[in-house]
Amino acid sequence: MKRFSSPLVSCLWLKENLGKPGIKVLDGSWHMPHTNRNGYQEYLKEHIPTAKFFDIDIISDTNIPLPHMLPDISLFEEKVTELGITNNDKIIVYDTAFMSACRVWYTFKLFGHDNCNILDGGLMKWKKMGFPVISQNEEEQEKKQQPLERYKVKEFRKEWLRDLNQILKNLELNSEYMIDARSAERFTGKQQEPRPGLYAGHIPGSKNLPFTKLINPETNEFKSPSEIKQLFIESGLPLLNNNEEDNSLLDKPIIASCGSGVSACNLIAALNYIGVDLSDIRLYDGSWSEYGKLENNFPIGKE
């Protein structure tokens, strides 16, 4: 039986452990361009004390003409070192709008840093509990400092990723489930994509679970494991009944996608939260920004 560890930590846990040696906090906030919100500017205005900002647009492979694609090992090591993080640190990631913290969490997991968790409820819950926030110029620790040691990636789990060719192959073989985190309107093609140059619709055979359904809107916290499991079942994903001998919930791996590989990670975190091992989940990093390009003319589902 695989050992299960929750991807989440509570705001109370972080408050009690904030500032202890080996605890590093990251603000991973990112927003869709059409929202006119800027994660970094919001971080400068207010953030959890000691938090550094993880920019998924900067810590990305800019040689690929797609939004915030995962970085290569060298860039990841460089940027994580600049953030003052070492291989032995426990990392807590949060955001301001239940959008991108899970992406940062999954990135660290992908690069072999397992001691990483998502702050359940994010900054919204933290503030609701009356815990402190600071601005950039209120903290001396925000000044650039030389990291104690260079961060080194010990394992890159490439097998957790899927590329376009593998997606096309899966359309033929149906060897892996697919689930899409976008809204139902975008999934069915009733609403145009917010990015230009894309068809409306989804990858044929995909299930749909809009990532916003995973949380309690009043607290920004994940719903209970039983509620989330039911949401996946209602999406059409045939989850199995796990038991003490075998805690597998899936009879084959599952690929998560979305618009650009960000909110798909919210589904990945939710699957992990209900007991699906990360080794049974794949991320299609290019997602609809790649598959749905007008010049591709691949099969498209709209039902």
What residues are labeled active site?
258
Query: At 242, which amino acid appears?
Result: N
Strand (E) or helix (H) holding 178 = strand 177-180
C-alpha span between 181 and 203 (Å, rounded): 12
C-alpha span between 213 and 89 (Å, rounded): 31
40 CB contacts (<8 Å, ≥6 apart)? 29, 53, 55
Helices (DSSP H) in the chain: which residue ranges? 11-17, 39-45, 73-82, 101-110, 122-128, 164-173, 184-187, 225-234, 264-273, 287-291
Helices (H) and strands (E) in the chain, counts: 10, 12
C-alpha span between 184 and 207 (Å, rounded): 10
- The SS3 assignment for 94 reads strand
Q: Are 134 and 51 in contact (CB under 8 A)?
A: no
